[in-house]
Amino acid sequence: MTAGQLTADGRSRVLADGNEIPLLGLGVWQVPDGPECENAVRWALELGYRHVDTAQAYGNEASVGRAVRESGVPRDEVFITTKFYPRRARDPEEQAKRSLERLGVEAVDLYIVHWPEGGATWAWEGMQRARQAGHARSIGVSNFSVAQIDEVLALGGDGPVVNQVQFSPFEFRRALLEECERRGVALEAYSPLGTGRHLGDARVAEIARRVDRTPAQVLIRWCIERGMIVLPKSTHRERLGENAGVFDFTLSAADVAALDALDTTGATDAARESRWW
Ligand code: A2P
C-alpha cells in the first residue's frame, strides 16, 4: 500500500515509512499514573481502540504498559506511541530505552519529539538512532511548524512520518495540514475536543443533532474526514465508547465545510499560538 492510503477497513492509514497506524487513538495526557490510567486504557481496548498515545512527560507509561499487557490483546495488535521529553538535551535513544522499561515492551510503534525546545533539529539524530536500534518502528515530531519540519528534513536521512498538533475545526491549521501532507508527514490531532471546550458550541451541536450523533463524535469524525489521526482523551467508559463510534457515519461536504469555517487560526501553518516551553 502507498503512503497516505487508508487500509481496507478504513480504520488505519499507511505512514511514509510503510507502517500502519490506527486513525483513532486514546490520548492519556493528564491522566494520573495508576488505576485511572489503567482503567481508561483497559476499557478503550475492550471497546475496540487499538492505539494508545502516551509520553515520557505524562508520567503514566507504566500504567499504559500494564493495561496493555493485562488486556489480553496481543502486543502486535496495539499501536503504542510515546514521546521524547526534550528538556536538558538528553539523548533520545537512551530515553527510549527507559520508556521501554516503564512500558514493559520491546519497542514502541511510534516515538516522537514532544516539542521543539532548544531548536527543531538537535534531537533528530538520536531519534533516528532509536529507530535504527529497534526501539521504535516509526519516528516523528509534535508541535512543529512547517518551517521546523523543513529544518528536520534538511538534515537528510529519515524524516518524521507524523506531526502531532492541537487540531480541531476551531484550530483548523489548514496550511500546516496541507504542507505536512505534501511532505509525507501525517498529522495527528491532539485535544480534538478542545480539551472539552468545543463540545458546548452551538454550531457543533446543531450539526450533531441533524446527523443524530453527539458533538464529540462530530468533532472526531471531522478529523477523520480531513485525513487525520485523532487522539481524543477520556477516562470515562461511556465516553470512550461514544468517541469510538465514528466509523459508521460520514459528514457531508457541506457539514465539513461548515466545521472548517469555525477556524480561529487563520488557516495557519504554525503548530501553536503560544508555546509552553
Ligand atoms: P473525561 O476524561 O473526564 O471524560 P480532548 O480530547 O480535546 O483533550 O478533550 C478531553 C476532555 O473532554 C476531557 O476533559 C474529557 O473528560 C472530555 N470528554 C472526552 N470525551 C467526551 C465526551 N464524549 N463527552 C463529554 N466530554 C468528553
pLDDT for 67-84, tens place per residue?
Answer: 999 999 999 999 999 999
pLDDT at 89 over 80: no
243 Cβ inside 6 Å of ligand 1 = yes
User: How confident is the model at residue 274, as a pLDDT?
Assistant: 87
Q: Residue holding cell 492510503?
A: 5
User: How confident is the model at residue 4, as a pLDDT?
Assistant: 84
Taking residues 89-99, what's their average pLDDT? 94
236 Cβ inside 6 Å of ligand 1 = yes
CB 26 within 8 A of CB 41: yes
> Which is the closest atom of ligand 1 to the Cα of 236?
4
**pLDDT digit string, tens, across residues 52-61:** 999 999 999 9
- H-helix segments, 163-201: 174-182
Bridge partners, 111 (sequence order): 82, 139
**Among the listed residues 139, 137, 144, the one whose alpha carbon sits nearest the alpha carbon of residue 124:** 139
77 DSSP 8-state letter: G
Residue 244 CB-half CA count within 13 A: 21
Listed in sequence order, the residues at least 6 apart from 129 whose beta carbon sits closer than 8 Å to its beta carbon are 92, 93
User: How confident is the model at residue 266, as a pLDDT?
Assistant: 96
> Which is the closest atom of ligand 1 to the Cα of 40?
2
CB 139 within 8 A of CB 167: no
194 Cβ inside 6 Å of ligand 1 = yes
**Alpha carbons 11 and 20: distance in angstroms, whole number:** 10
User: How confident is the model at residue 276, as a pLDDT?
Assistant: 83
pLDDT at 88 over 80: no
User: How confident is the model at residue 30, as a pLDDT?
Assistant: 94
**pLDDT digit string, tens, across residues 219-240:** 999 999 999 999 999 999 999 9
pLDDT at 277 over 90: no
CB 79 within 8 A of CB 22: yes
pLDDT at 1 over 80: no
**pLDDT digit string, tens, across residues 3-28:** 889 999 999 999 999 999 999 999 99
Average pLDDT, the chain: 97
User: How confident is the model at residue 49, as a pLDDT?
Assistant: 98
CB 219 within 8 A of CB 230: no
User: How confident is the model at residue 275, as a pLDDT?
Assistant: 86
